[in-house]
Amino acid sequence: MSGRPVKHSVTLKGHRTSISLEAAFWDGFCEIAHARGQTLNALAAEIDAGRAGDIGLASAIRVFVLETLRR
């Protein structure tokens, strides 16, 4: 297992943006979106809307995945 982040693209508010996530977090993000019946873009937009301005999107996604999978 590699701990190196890999870039992935999502679309937020009509604009493509890249996020760098480790494979485990990307996999968890995909699993959560699938379980909720959401697209990756929709889940990313939800996380983006709820994060503080000084927290990066990738960090917000990591915390979201960790908190969701701990439940």
> Tokens standing for 58?
């990738």
Separation CA 58–CA 71 (nearest Å): 20
Tokens of 36: 């909720």
Of 13, 21, 2, which Cα lies nearest the Cα of 42?
13
Write down the pLDDT at residue 3: 83
Predicted model pTM: 0.91
Question: Which residues are registered as beta bridge partners of 56?
Answer: none
pLDDT of residue 46: 96
The tens place of each residue's pLDDT in the chain, 71 residues long, gives 568 999 999 999 999 999 999 999 999 999 999 999 999 999 999 999 999 889 999 999 999 999 999 98
pLDDT at 71: 84
Give residue for tokens 């503080």: 52
